Chains A and B, each alone.
Chain A
Amino acid sequence: DIQMTQSPSSLSASVGDRVTITCRASQSIRSYLNWYQQKPGKAPKLLIYAASSLQSGVPSRFSGSGSGTDFSLTISSLQPGDFATYYCQQSYSHPLTFGGGTKVDIK
């Protein structure tokens, strides 16, 4: 199975900050990497697919990069609605696997 490791597991940031979350795969997954945002009590929401493609309707302050084993999600200027937990997920092979999540909260 492909293991997905996210870092950090949590971070505190202020509105307007630039935030970067990283995700590492245990083997190459090419660009089969997705990012989701989840708020408490809600279903996850797709932000980025195929490592760097912005899902329709998602603000352009979210961006993704990387390929192979190392990936990142960047929020260019953190907004109040961005405080949430973020997950990466590989879709290269079954079983599909998620990272452990990164909780972004208010500093």
Chain B
Amino acid sequence: EVQLVESGGGLVKPGGFLRLSCSASGFSFSTYTMNWVRQAPGKGLEWVSSISSSGRYIYYMDLLKGRFTISRDNAKNSLFLQMNSLRAEDTAVYYCARESDDSFDSWGQGTLVTVSS
């Protein structure tokens, strides 16, 4: 069974940082592109970042302006999102999602990031 478990969310002050993790199991993690998708409270889904299976190809949503960094450790079946210079508008549930057939076919339960003073 495919499992994706996010962790690392919490309350952080504006300008602060957090590192999210996603632990994968039940599939060959190193062969899949992985993504982060977020959802602000009461709002829709917003794609954040993608990283290819090898880590060679990385994409970000335009508005992040270099504040976030996606990475992965295939040996540990883990995906990461380093988030710096956090703003109130980054407050959201962050999901990791596996990509297959150009779609997000498996999702974690999400981890809540709250940016507030």
A residues engaging B (CB < 8 A)? 1, 32, 34, 36, 38, 43-46, 49-50, 53, 55, 87, 89, 91, 94-101
Contact = CB atoms under 8 A, between A and B. Distances in A.
Contacts of B73: none
For the complex of A and B, the 3 pairs showing the least CB-CB separation, nearest first, are A49-B103, A43-B107, A91-B102
Contacts of A46: 103-105
The majority secondary structure among interface residues of chain A is: loop
Contacts of B60: 95
Contacts of B109: 43
Contact of A49 (B44, B102, B108): B102
B62 interface: yes
B61 interface: yes
B47 A97 contact: yes
Please classify the interface of chain B as helix (H, G, I), strand (E, B), loop, or mixed, using the class held by over half of its residues: strand
Interface residues of B, number: 21
Given A89-B45, A95-B59, A96-B50, A32 B107 contact: no
A99 to B, nearest CB: 8
- Which residue of A91, A100, A101 has the most chain B CB atoms within 10 A of its CB atom? A91
B89 interface: no
B45 A87 contact: yes
A34 B47 CA distance: 13
A67 to B, nearest CB: 14
A100 B44 contact: yes
A94 B50 contact: yes
Most chain B CB neighbours (cut-off 10 Å) among A32, A95, A97: A95
